[in-house]
């Protein structure tokens, strides 16, 4: 695997989180294949699913926009490259902030785990077509997401 190809795969993974954090929804969509397999069962239950990228971006946007801030910290990338597919496993910590529990004390919910992303080359650009998240730990208050959603409605 060439170092430049490895870097391109890592860039696609990093760009996804950074685009979410900065509200660049076109950038988020640009990281994804038209349809992708998602598995967030370790975080939210339910079942893995194949979803349209546009629907996934709309759901993420609805959940994230009401927050005061969100930050994905992604690292420890391990990239395995096939002929036209790559797998990138990476550690992530994501912190969600909304409001204050008391003056000067932010209300936070942080989750940490690892992703296994599968990417394919689409017109010469690496696109994520599978995202599986495995939760390792969380801290803070999951209710942050519900309170942000309620405040937005």
Looking at residues 35-46, what average pLDDT do you find?
96
DSSP helix/strand/coil, 131: strand
Give first-to-last CA distance, the chain, whole Å.
48
54 versus 99: which is more confidently predicted? Answer: 54
- How far is Cα 102 from Cα 87, in angstroms, rounded to an integer? 43
3-152 CATH, one of 3.10.100.10, 3.55.50.30, 3.30.2130.10, 3.10.450.50: 3.10.450.50
Strand partners, 138: 111
Cβ atoms of 94 and 33 within 8 Å: the answer is: no
Structure confidence at residue 88 (pLDDT)? 98
- What are the tens digits of pLDDT across the range 103-150? 777 799 999 999 999 999 999 899 999 999 999 999 999 999 998 888
- What are the tens digits of pLDDT across the range 42-84? 999 999 999 999 999 999 999 999 999 999 999 999 999 988 8
């Amino acid at each position: 695997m060439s170092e430049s190809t490895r870097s391109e795969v890592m860039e696609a993974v990093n760009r996804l989180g950074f685009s979410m954090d900065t509200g660049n929804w076109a950038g988020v969509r640009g990281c994804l294949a038209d349809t992708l397999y998602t598995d967030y069962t370790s975080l939210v239950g339910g079942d893995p699913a194949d979803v349209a990228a546009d629907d996934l971006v709309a759901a993420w946007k609805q959940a994230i926009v009401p927050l005061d801030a969100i930050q994905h910290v992604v690292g420890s990338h391990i990239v395995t490259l096939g002929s036209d597919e790559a797998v990138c496993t990476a550690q992530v910590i994501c912190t969600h902030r909304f409001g204050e529990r008391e003056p000067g004390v932010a209300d936070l919910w942080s989750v940490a785990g690892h992703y296994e992303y599968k990417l394919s080359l689409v017109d010469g650009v690496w696109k994520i077509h599978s995202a599986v998240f495995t939760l390792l730990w969380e801290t803070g208050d999951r209710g942050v997401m519900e309170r942000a959603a309620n405040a937005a409605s």
